Every structure is written in structure tokens, then in C-alpha cells.
Structure 1
Amino acid sequence: MKQTNQLRLLASCFVFSFFSCEQEDAINKNEEDSRNFKVIEVTHHDGRPFSTGDDKSNLNSKYVANAGGGVMMQGFYWDVPAGGTWWNVVKGKVTAWGNAGIESIWLPPASKAQNGPFSMGYDPTDYYDFGNYNQNGTVETRFGSKTELTSLITAAHNENMKVYADIVINHNSGGQSEYNPYTGTNTYTKFNVASGKFIRSYNDFYKNSYGNNDEGSFGGFPDLCHANPYVQDWLWGRADAVGKYYKNTMKFDGWRFDYVKGFGPWVVNQWNANVGGFSVGEYWDGNAATLEWWCDNANSSAFDFACYYKMDEAFDGNDLTKLSTGDMLWKRRPFRAVTFVSNHDTDQIWKKTLAYAYILTHEGYPTIFYRDYEEWLDKNKLNNLIWIHNNKATGNTSILYADNDEYIARRNGYNGNPGLVVYLNNSNAWQERWIQTNWASTTIKDYTGNSSWYPTTQGDKWVKIQCPPNSYSIWSTL
């Protein structure tokens, strides 16, 4: 029996020694891999945060001190409840959203559309009917009345939040039939709308005296002709143009332009020059160079679909090197990129928590989807990420390490703010890495609380950090 116990002890020591050596070898290899990784300096600018271009001097301290720039909330999803209640639902959320650090709300198309009380607004009929005229089978829109909309906007402004309107100016719907000499047929292009503003006929849509088509039509709807000076005047030129009415009367602060592939970028450029306000275009394309071209010509931000698709490849495809090597709009134009994880049209990323940790620590203007925040994900974790974004995510970006399972990046700080280091782990085990920070002989912590470590950086600014499985940690100075 004694001999058996001795053998067991020797075997245990051997096994312990074997696994200790194996673990030590893995740690040493991790350190070697980290130190040999060639740091990628992604962006090159003075480090200032994303700005929506407005003067924040009149806002309260929680936004004046917002080091990371803003966070946008998409305040709807496809087929929100009908019945004219949605504006009041969103109004009931604005105080909590403001307290969480949300800077702006993007609302669905607010004017009367062909499908009346059931429309999500993307088939616009009367740009000046916000639920105050009886047409298309209803007075209120799907979302509510004009009074309820203005009350929502006022409530958001009282919380120092901006409100962005979804603008659909590629196509119209709900017109009456009329003979069109340019097609030789009847077309539904006669818009004698109840508001009496922006009356339209066949010559305001392609095919017409200005040509056969523009960059693109949508869904068989009448395709608005922006080459027509009459259309230009009503969209952005005259004192009561659509854009100016939204901005000056309805008090919207900016624009989300729908389906901008359907017309030239000069249209958004002219709108912005004549109306003002923040703008972002839905140019649905995964090519970062194409998005950059559109932004430069439209003088507008764009949703970073290139980033969206690379995140899907990285997190769901189990290859985080896509985050380091992938071309994205935020890498090319950090002050033009509006990043997102999901929206009312597309929701294909499964590992959303990692994706939100990515966009809320990286450059650009991150957008949070209503259902992710209010229904599907952990709101406390998202609020923590919003706080980190607003207080720590500043400066240009350096990628410190990337492999299939791990990704580590550094925001280099700005104007006295130390920035951060974000560690994403897509594996099923805890991971540790030695990385180089911007802080010498400084104690740091994980602001997510996922790690309890309080490591101190060495004199050469290197430090070992850790990250839990299928999760993230975000490090900065105390």
C-alpha cells in the first residue's frame, strides 16, 4: 500500500510538472507572440473625438465632458406596434437614455406615407403631413400625431439629446394615376397632397424631360427627379422647403438619408449646404473605398457597412484578424464613419456583445439598435460600454495584437485623457497577453469589471492583461 501511494505521488508530481511546464510554455509563447506582433498604427490624426458638427457649448456637463464623442440610438425597429403609440413610447425612454449617455436618437420616417396607419414611412406621400391631415386612410401616422412627435423632440432636447430624421427622397408613393407623355402610359405620379406643399406631377419623376433615369430606382415606386429645379427648390431651396421645415419648424437636428445609392451624392451635398445639420447616408456597400468616395462627394457621414461585414466575418467566422487587416470606413475616414451592429434592415451578427465592445471602443460614431438595448442584450453591459466610450475611448488607434481568437487595440488618448486598451477574446478559455501601453509605471484596471486584476505597467510601458472567454476587457488608468 505504501509503495502504491508513493507511485501515485510520483505520478501526480509528474503530471503536475508536465502541465505546469505546458502552461508556462504557453504563457511564454503568448508573450513572445505579443512582442513580435508588428503594431499597426491605424489612424493618423490629432486624436480628437468624432463630432456631429454642432456647438455643444449649450449642453450640460455630461456631454461637454464627453471625451469619446457621441452615441446614437436607433429609436425604432421594423414593424414597431401600429396604432399611433410609438412617439409616446420613445418619449418615455429619453430620460433613461440620456442618463445612460446616449447623445442622439434616430427616428423612422415621420411623414404620411401610402400605407397610412400601417406604414413604416419608407413610401412617402406628403412630406408635410406628420399626422395632422386626413389622407391615405388616417390622420395619425403609424407612430402617432404631429403633436406627439413635437412633444417627443422637445423632451429629447430637454435631455440635451439631438433628434435625427429619416429622410426618404429617392422615391415617392401614394400618387394618383395620370397620363405621362414620356412613358406613353399612365403613371402614379400625381401628388395633390393635403398639406398643399410640394405638389408633384409626372415631370418631377423619371422618365421625364430631364432624362430617362438617375443612379437608381427602388421597388417600382415613382423615382424622384433631383435634376428638376422645382424638386430641388422644394427639397432644400425655398424657405419652407422640406429640409428647412423639418429643421426650423419640427426642430430636427440632422438627417439619416435612405437609399442614397438611388441618386448622386451631390443631392446630399446640396441639402447639407442649404439646410445644415448632421447627416449620415445609407450607402449599402461593403467596400470601404466606395463609402469613402460617397462621403467625400456628399460632404456627409455614412454607415460603415464595411465594418459591419468585417465584424460578422471576425466574430461569427472565428477570425479576429479580419479586424486588423480588414478595410473599413472608420480606418479611412474616422470622422465620417457611423458604426453599427444591427438595424431595422439587417441583423446577421450573432456575437453582438463582442461587436458592441468593438464599436464602442473604436473610432467613429457608434449606433445602438433599439431592440438590442431594450429587449435582447444585457442593458447594464451596454450602459457600461457607453460610459467607457464617452469617458475613455478617445485618441487615434493602434492595433497591438490579433489572431483568430484574440484582438487587442489601443486608443492613444487626447487632450489629457489617457485613452484605453480593449481586449476581445473569441475563445472558450481565459487568455493573457503582454502588451505595450502608453503608461509607464502606472496601475491600471479593467473598467468592465470582467477582470479583478490591478496590474502596474513596467517602466517600458509593457504590462500583462487578461480577458475572460467569449468576452472582453477594457483597460485604462485609475
Structure 2
Amino acid sequence: MTISSNLLKALTAAVMGLSLIGCQTETEETFVPDKADKQAVVQVTTHDGAPFITNSNANARYAAGPGGGVMMQAFYWDVPAGGTWWNTVKGKVTDWGNAGIGALWLPPASKAQNGPFSMGYDPTDYFDFGDYNQNGTTETRFGSKTELTSLISKAHTENMEVYADIVLNHNSGGQLENNQYTGTQTWTLFNVASGKFNRTQHDFHPNWVQNNDEGVFGGFPDLSHSVPYVQDWLWNRSDGVAKYYKNTMGFDGWRFDYVKGFGPWVVKEWNNSVGGFSVGELWDSNVDYLNWWANEANSSVFDFACYYKMDEAFDGNNLNRLADDMMWKRNPYKTVTFVSNHDTDQIWSKMLSYAYILTHEGYPCIFYRDYEEWLDKSKLNNLIWIHNNRATGNTSILHVDNDEYIARRNGYNGNPGLVVYINNSDQWQERWIQTNWSSTQIKDYTGSSGWYPTTQGDQWVKIQAPPRGYTVWSPVN
């Protein structure tokens, strides 16, 4: 509900005189800005003392906050078949935007070898989005081209971006042909229904240009990006894959699949040609490798180093691992952090992990099933709001041991930043820490703690965190 400025002042004044009063479980107000009219919204529904953040304003539009954006991976492996998925996602876009999610990552959208059952990672025809009868179906597993463009348009109406999953390493679903380079028959003859980007043996490895590149996947024909014809159809032509996806279909960015399979120059050339956000799936925990690839490709990269360190920290009961090197610490503006995805889901302590990535640097990605099915959506919405509105500035680790981790985001351009306290033990923990705020009243924006402490003149203050939980502290508005 929207409240008047006088009531907002009264609510604020009511808590100004409170100091350290111990652990509280009574209802507590959490203030969040409404994206439609910029007035304050107060949400007082609680669960175990933690406020739920909701937004029922159907006219709201996503607006980026000072902390940056949050991405939603809008699918999981083996989503329901039958051509319903694009409409399912479309039905959630407004709620996601209201929650503060600014971009959707969709699965590979074009026709693949497995037809109505394919998740898209075995691409046949890059220009068939569900409007040609090939590979045993007209629609893709996810729906029709009309339904896809309707979803993209709806996301744009909500001021959200849409990222296409692009599979450039390999193709599948071709016909047999006699291959002069191998002396055998190979599945490399692609006469596709769209008539665009037909391929033959000359466009795959080995060929007249080179025998191989960085890697092959699953025995599929390995596309040769060094062939001028392939480059033209992928990113150079005005009606090629990249520009068709952007200018005709309306995609705003790219998630590149299995980038270990080809050189980073491919992504760089694509980005130079068509622009838009991009992130590569370089499945490797080596931070040097991740950072090298991101710089060479001029692209963001998924932070697998962070992913595995979080697993060691939270599931392995050793938060010291959070002090180790990660991609977001090296190059935060080229980093996408995540807790799980359609390929890997090994972290059990997910809420602590989301508390980590949504309060730290990098571009956090939320997994569909975590948000819609498995975790507490209200707590995730709370963290999304915290990320968008308070997670600013660089990061200083204030304390770390096996059970406790405290870090400070130092704020930027007038935004105060935050202090996050993650507690992986079985009991409440308290610590004195130094903030950037002198003689300032702060509160826990998750609602887990009822403390409203005031920092000392030297910026020190005592904060707390619940067992197997977290708190996020910042000045009271």
C-alpha cells in the first residue's frame, strides 16, 4: 500500500529513538520505492520476523536502481514440452519486473534436431523459431515464433531486456554426405527449411581452412568460424543470425553456449558487429582463464570460480573460502554471478549463496526454479530490492572465519552502500564492525534482526545475524 509522506515521517520517527534492543520477532516495516510513482511502499506482512516485499501495482515498470540489474534465467532443463513455455514466461514478466528483475535469459529459441522435445542446444536452423515444419514439428518445444515475439514485446513493454542463448560451436540435424576431408560420410549437409545459412562439409571441421579449433562437443559437427561464409551468416550480413536476432526478433543481448569450443575472437567479432550485452559460458574455475577470456572476447563471463567457492564455503562449512579469488573481484563489470542453472545445481545452502551474490559486485543471475518453485520468493524479492537499491561501491571484507562472513559495500555517488553479515553457524552471532557511517542509525533491511543501532562517532557499531542466515545493514531512510 502507498502511504502519505506524513505517515512515513511518523513511522521513521517512531524508530529513531531505538538503540540496541536485542533480537526481535515482532512485525517490522520495510520501505521500498514503488517503480511507478517513486513514492514509498511499506510492506508489513512477516514470516518468522522477516518482512515480505511485494508490489501489487500492475502498472509498475522495471527501473534500474543504483546497484545495477538482476537477470532471470527464464527456463530450466526439460521445461514442459508442447509449445507452452513462451506463454508461461510471458505471464510472469510483469511480476518479475515489479520485483526488480531487469533482464530475461531465454533458452536457444530456434529449431533443433530433436524437434518438439529439444531444449535447443542441438541447433539445425537458426532462422526457424517455430514457423517451419521440419525435424518433426512446426512449433519448437517452447512455442511458435508469434508467441516468442509476443513475449519479447511484453518484456520490452515492462522495460526489461531479453537475452538469446546462442549455440555457435556445433550443429545437429544435417543429412549424410560424402566428405572429401574425412573420406567418410558425415552429417554435415544442412538444407534448412528457412533457406538461410545452408551448410555443407566445407563449413565444418576439418575443412579447407583448418582441421580443428578449440574443441568439439558431443560428437556433433563442429562449425568452422574461420570460413568467410560462416562469418557472413553468423554476424556480418545484415540478414545474418546476429542482426536478424537483434533487429527483427528484438533480442537485446546474448548468452554464448560452450565458449571453450571456439576462440574468444568469435564473440568479440559478434559483439563488434551487433552490440548488446553478452556473457559466455566458460565452464572453468580458473580465475586467470575466466578473466583472460572476458578481456579477449570483450564480454562478460559466468563466474564459475565464485560458484565453486560458494559451494565450498556454505556446504563445506568454511566461509574462509569467500576470501579466495573470484572473477567478480578481478573484473566485476564483466562478471555474471549465479547460484544454480540448467546444467549444474550442486549448492544446497542456496539462500546464503543468493545473499552473497545479491549483495556483492557482479551481475547476479537468478535461476527460474529457485525463484518460482524451490526457495522463498519473498526473501529473494527482498534481496533483489537490496541489490538494486543499496549494493553500490567496491567491497571490503571486514571479517571472515569458518562460520561468519561480513563484508561492506562502500557506497557510490551518494548511495550509502551496505554491510552484509552471513552466519553459517547454528546460533545467533554478534560482532563489532567499522562502517562508513558516523553517528548514523542503521537497520537490517532483511527484517531478521529488530536492532536499530546507531553507529559511534568513529563509525563502529555492533550488528548481529541469525543462525544459518544473514542480515543486511544500511542507514535508516
Range into which the TM-score falls when normalised by the shorter chain: 0.7 to 0.9
Aligned: 1:347 with 2:337 = no
Query: Quick one: distance in 2 between partners of 1:361 and 1:163?
Result: 23
| SS of residue paired to 1:464 | strand
Deviation at 1:90, TM superposition (A): 0.2
Deviation at 1:62, TM superposition (A): 6.5
| SS of residue paired to 2:339 | coil
Deviations 1:275-294, CA, capped at 9 Å, x for gaps:
11100000000011100000
- Name the Cα RMSD after superposition: 0.9
Structure 1 segment 123-272 matched on structure 2, within 5 A: 123-272=122-271
TM (norm. structure 2) is: 0.87
TM (norm. structure 1) is: 0.87
Deviation at 1:228, TM superposition (A): 0.3
| SS of residue paired to 2:333 | coil
Question: 1:474 — aligned with what?
Answer: 472
Query: Quick one: distance in 2 between partners of 1:448 and 1:188?
Result: 55
Query: Quick one: distance in 2 between partners of 1:211 and 1:168?
Result: 21
Deviation at 1:212, TM superposition (A): 1.1
Structure showing the higher helix proportion among its residues: 1
Query: Quick one: distance in 2 between partners of 1:242 and 1:191?
Result: 16
Deviation at 1:202, TM superposition (A): 0.1
Runs of 5+ consecutive residues of structure 2 not aligned to the other structure: 1-58
Query: Quick one: distance in 2 between partners of 1:465 and 1:212?
Result: 61
Query: Quick one: distance in 2 between partners of 1:63 and 1:474?
Result: 23
Counterpart residue type for residue 412 of structure 1: N
Question: 1:79 — aligned with what?
Answer: 78
Verify the 8 A CA contact 2:62 2:98 in the aligned structure 1. no
Counterpart residue type for residue 206 of structure 2: K
Structure 1 segment 333-372 matched on structure 2, within 5 A: 333-372=331-370
| SS of residue paired to 2:408 | strand
Percent of aligned positions that are identical: 78
Deviations 1:38-87, CA, capped at 9 Å, x for gaps:
xxxxxxxxxxxxxxxxxxxxxx9975550110000000000000000000
Question: 2:23 — aligned with what?
Answer: none
Return structure 1 stretches of 4+ with deviation > 4 angstroms. 60-65
Verify the 8 A CA contact 2:62 2:101 in the aligned structure 1. no
Structure of higher CA gyration radius: 1
Counterpart residue type for residue 109 of structure 2: A
Counterpart residue type for residue 297 of structure 1: E
Query: Quick one: distance in 1 between partners of 2:399 and 2:335?
Result: 23
Runs of 5+ consecutive residues of structure 1 not aligned to the other structure: 1-59
Deviation at 1:327, TM superposition (A): 1.0
| SS of residue paired to 1:206 | coil
Query: Quick one: distance in 1 between partners of 2:469 and 2:61?
Result: 28
Aligned: 1:380 with 2:378 = yes
Deviation at 1:113, TM superposition (A): 0.2
Structure 1 segment 455-470 matched on structure 2, within 5 A: 455-470=453-468
Query: Quick one: distance in 2 between partners of 1:185 and 1:121?
Result: 27
Query: Quick one: distance in 1 between partners of 2:334 and 2:206?
Result: 34
Counterpart residue type for residue 315 of structure 1: F
Residue 449 of structure 1, aligned match among 447, 453, 461 = 447
Question: 1:435 — aligned with what?
Answer: 433
Query: Quick one: distance in 1 between partners of 2:92 and 2:60?
Result: 21
1:277–1:65: structure 2 CA closer, same or farther, 3 Å change rule? closer
Query: Quick one: distance in 2 between partners of 1:173 and 1:63?
Result: 38
Question: 2:410 — aligned with what?
Answer: 412
Query: Quick one: distance in 2 between partners of 1:168 and 1:243?
Result: 12
